[in-house]
Structure 1
Amino acid sequence: MTQYFLTLPHDSATEPTMASMQELDPAELAAVIAAVDEFNAALQDSGAWVFAGGLNPPSTAKTVDVTSGETRVLDEPFVEAPAYVGGFWVIEAADEAAAIYWATKASAALQSRVEVRALQERPAE
């Protein structure tokens, strides 16, 4: 089985966080959380679940650079962009169509776009 990385884009201008989500209508937030919980349970029940997580926004990032021979720790993301990965799932799926099926379910649960990418497989030795 191939592993796929399902990612959730967030707007860099607003950097939504768990704290800012508290500003949403409580009923809407509860509905989204319930839908995501249901989606996660379905992934787990199917055996497709590998791992998932939410990420803090890029403004909290540190970039470590040792390419000059000295360690530099920068208080910034390694790339600035209009959107960033705010959360993700790593799933196992038989093929891209199956991964897209799960991404469709995730998109519906979160009412958000979801990107699907296969993880690179180790080269044959």
Structure 2
Amino acid sequence: MMQYLVAIHHPDDYDPATMEDDAMIEEIHALNREMIDAGVRFFAGGLRTVKEAKSIKRNTEGKILVTDGPFLETKEHIGGFWILDVADLNEALEWGRKATVACRAPVEVRQFH
């Protein structure tokens, strides 16, 4: 089995309180149950908003700095993810398709080394 990351991408202004209704939440729970029943879900987690992120960097003097906000200034960010144990990329992509539907958001699928 190989491990794949299936990451959900949200726009920077994504607000779960206003953008996730009960139907969407139930679809995500159903997908999680399906993954568990299939024995492919290794780990799953949703992330808090990007506004709550902290970035840690080392400056040119070697000092470690902690700053508010995401590491990269982008228009979207990872809002949650699954780590799946699956046979191959095709199986990971099938789960990614289901994640796109349940989460109503773009999904990225990448294999771990």
TM over 0.5: yes
Identity of aligned residues (%): 35
Is 1:33 paired with 2:25?
Answer: yes
| Mapped partners of 1:52, 1:36: distance in 2 | 11
Give 4+ residue runs of structure 1 displaced > 3 Å after superposition.
Answer: none
Partner SS for 1:6: strand
- Answer yes or no: is the 8 Å Cα contact 1:10–1:16 preserved in 2: no
Partner SS for 2:56: strand
Identify unmatched segments of 5+ residues in structure 1.
Answer: 121-125
Alignment partner, residue 11 of structure 1: 11
Higher share of residues assigned strand? 2
Partner SS for 1:77: coil
Partner SS for 2:4: strand
Is 1:107 paired with 2:100?
Answer: yes
Task: Say which one has the larger Rg.
Answer: 1
Partner SS for 2:48: coil
Alignment size in residue pairs: 112
Q: So what's the TM-score if we normalise by structure 1?
A: 0.81
Identify unmatched segments of 5+ residues in structure 2.
Answer: none
Q: So what's the TM-score if we normalise by structure 2?
A: 0.89
